[in-house]
Structure 1
Amino acid sequence: MMSLRHTAAGAALALAALTGAAPAHADALRTAPAVTAPAAVAALPVFTDGHGLTVLPGATEVHSPTDFTLTVTTKQLSGQHKIRVLLPAGYDAVPERRWPVTYFLHGGGGTVDDVAAAPALHSDSMITVVPDGGLKGWYADWQMQNTAEGAANWETFHLTQVVPFIDANLRTRTDRDHRAVVGLSMGGYGSLHYAEARPDLFGHVAALSGGIDFGMAQVRAAVLATELNLTGAWCAVSSSSSTSGSGKCTGYGPYVDSDAIFGSPYPVFNADRVWKAVDPAAPANLAKLSRTGITLYTGNNDVIDVHTAAASKTVKARLDQLGVPSRLVNYGNGASLAPGCNGGHNYGCWAPAFADYVPRLEAAFAAAG
């Protein structure tokens, strides 16, 4: 039992960035600071409250006519939370047209604005929605609701509130063949888990450098590192020492109990039953993806992605054993993917990975009719 706690401490030196936020070099890819402009907001689609979400009036951030961020509240989560929406350029031009939707799940320590570091996700063939996933939400309904985070039902927020809210307010294609969920790092776990939990919603899934094998002690340790807010770990191994430009590592938010999200991580007397139940690599969960388009990306050239590569290899092998088609792109040191990719856990690799993936997804949407 102590060994896993020591592994969690070791995450301070190696694994906390498995839940990485956007690295410093991604800042140059971000859009200019948003402005809240009543005249510009008036031209945007009108969003009405519903499905448990209340839109804060006057809080919409406008990045461009096709890129804006709503702020909502919900009883499922404490505080206010953002949903960034990227519309195709032709959204207004053909008012009768409905569009496929892709949900992008950011990594730990990240925000909805991380999507600006992956320009391919702003596509003229689909709507992209980026819901807040929390600094360490792990796309889960937490086992403990009385921590410093307060109410933390992230999975319920995303799957039973955000998805129908978007469908009610935008002209979306609502069948699974025209809806995808993609994510990286912590969001890679979230995307694969959501696709397994709700195969009725998502017909396509992509996980980039994801913590997608809860059978690995290293991945469990990364979750514990976020719960314990090991900011020293984050700043030591991440290429980003600041998400705000202040030079201060913001970390993963307040300290919470190590059992807060998925319960006890220790495989003793089935104490880790929740971890096993939601493990994306579990064959019983992977079997739920039999009709889903599955793509995995990972490098293997730093102390983080060497573990995401192992996790991705395990998931691919089990999918093969189940006879479920999938695509794994292990770009190793990054040379085969893009000149700016070093094979590590960063947007220098994730941005070109999305540039490779999005045209394939667009083609799949088109083939679905």
Structure 2
Amino acid sequence: MRRKTNWWRVLVAWTVATVAIAVAVPAGAAQAADETTPPPMTNGFGLTQVGTATGDGTNFWITVTTPEVAGEQHIKIILPRGYYDDPGRRYPVMYFLHGSPDDPIQQNYPALSMSDRMITVIPDGGARGWYANWLDQKTKAGAQNWENFHLRQVIPFIDANLRTIATKKARAVAGISMGGFGALHYAQARPDLFSQTASLSGDIDLSVRSMDLRLAVVASLVAYEPSVHSDAAFGSPYPVFNADWRWNEVDPSQHMDRIKQGAVGVSIYVGNGGGSPGDLEFWLEAASKHVKNAMDALGMTYHYVNYGDGSGWGTQCDGGHNAGCWEEDLRDLIPRLERHFAS
């Protein structure tokens, strides 16, 4: 009886296997399943994940904690089309830095998902983190070491968890508004990490020539909750007895020589706010011109676009400090980065 039962089980197993082969899952179905679920990410480099990833297999974000920055931070990741097609293929990475007071989740520019040749990573920069290690770490905001978080933790974490090409040549940093400052600042601080940097309407002149922008940074420190004092990030903003030396040290417009020496390519996009002083872009145009003048004095080559009131710069741009213009900037920047990475 036992022997007869065993043969019956073998027969059933063989029949099931035969049917399974006959109705085998079409090629690519397992691939499709992978694309619906974010890939697993392993903690490390001081980052600890909280909860599970949100999104699908190619556009998702994770939440992390780190001793470098108080609270929970998001990291949004956009993988190229076809990422799961070839498990042996590796990709260059663009780190995209958001503006103030945005966060990574809100960075939904269609252009960011247009590439099939590179990974895009959007790390949290806080509402007013200014992509810097703050001078005062004891404010109500808690630890604010954004530069350490991004350059010492996020980059190696991404390289360890995704199929990146972990070289300077295959890494770029770009950003909008506050993130434009961060992109040039990071390229100046660590030119060994990036081969390209780009500012989209960036606060890239914090010198006394652009005192309006310096005071805008101060306003963000004081106005956003929890409010902190004006000197929290870069010390005194006032040019008295060299008290503002830290502002000058991080000011991109005064240190373009570091980017030249580091062989980092530069792209700058800016409008004129339609000529209205009420639009922040009006003031950023002057800041970008100051950086352009500095690059000209150094004999640098660069990509510079001043689209003025937006006429001729796509259908969404009115020259203002807004997403319509940044979408057009990205549509110009991303194919250029792809060509650079492929060269």
Residue 60 of structure 1 pairs with residue 53 of structure 2: yes
Residue 363 of structure 1 pairs with residue 342 of structure 2: no
Residue number among 306, 314, 328 corresponding to 1:338 in the alignment: 314
Distance 1:363 1:71, change over 3 A: same
On the 8 A contact 2:74/2:105 being kept in 1, the answer is no
Alignment of 1:85-96 (within 5 A): 85-96=77-88
Alignment of 1:176-191 (within 5 A): 176-191=168-183
Distance 1:279 1:315 in 2: 10
Q: Which letter maps to 2:153? A: Q
Distance 2:319 2:270 in 1: 8
Q: Which residue of 1 aligns with 2:258?
A: 288
Distance 2:138 2:300 in 1: 40
Q: Which residue of 2 aligns with 1:267?
A: 239
Q: Which residue of 1 aligns with 2:288?
A: 312
Distance 1:262 1:73 in 2: 24
Shift of 1:42: 9.0
Q: Which residue of 1 aligns with 2:305?
A: 329
Query: Structure 2: where are the runs of 5+ without partners?
Result: 1-32
Q: Which residue of 1 aligns with 2:106?
A: 114
Distance 1:154 1:136 in 2: 10
Q: Deviations over 1:225-256 (max 9, x none)?
A: 10111xxxxxxxxxxxxxxxxxxxxxx33211
State the TM-score, normalizing by the size of structure 1: 0.80
Distance 2:52 2:271 in 1: 38
SS at match of 1:176: coil
On the 8 A contact 2:36/2:57 being kept in 1, the answer is no
Q: Which residue of 2 aligns with 1:19?
A: none
The CA RMSD measured in Å over matched residues stands at 1.4
Q: Which letter maps to 1:324? A: M
Q: Which letter maps to 1:296? A: I
Residue 166 of structure 1 pairs with residue 158 of structure 2: yes
SS at match of 2:83: coil
Shift of 1:41: 9.8
Alignment of 1:1-369 (within 5 A): 43-56=37-50, 58-62=51-55, 64-116=56-108, 118-122=109-113, 123-215=115-207, 216-229=210-223, 252-282=224-254, 285-290=255-260, 291-301=263-273, 302=276, 303-367=279-343
Distance 1:124 1:87 in 2: 8
Distance 1:79 1:341 in 2: 35
Shift of 1:336: 2.0
Distance 1:188 1:267 in 2: 24
Greater relative contact order structure (CA < 8 Å, 6+ sep): 1
Distance 2:293 2:142 in 1: 38
Distance 1:341 1:272, change over 3 A: same
SS at match of 1:214: coil
Which structure has the larger Rg over C-alpha atoms?
Answer: 2
Distance 1:69 1:354, change over 3 A: same
Distance 2:306 2:212 in 1: 19
Q: Which letter maps to 1:313? A: K
SS at match of 2:305: strand
Shift of 1:67: 0.6
Q: Deviations over 1:172-222 (max 9, x none)?
A: 011111100000100000001001111000100110111000111011011
Q: Which letter maps to 2:313? A: L
Distance 1:179 1:289, change over 3 A: same
Q: Which letter maps to 2:84? A: D
Query: Structure 1: where are the runs of 5+ without partners?
Result: 1-38, 230-251
On the 8 A contact 1:78/1:152 being kept in 2, the answer is yes
On the 8 A contact 1:41/1:60 being kept in 2, the answer is no
Bigger shift: 189-198 or 43-52? 43-52
Matched length: 302
Distance 1:160 1:42 in 2: 30
Distance 2:43 2:302 in 1: 38
Bigger shift: 286-295 or 153-162? 286-295
Q: Which residue of 2 aligns with 1:245?
A: none
On the 8 A contact 1:312/1:328 being kept in 2, the answer is no
Distance 1:59 1:217 in 2: 43
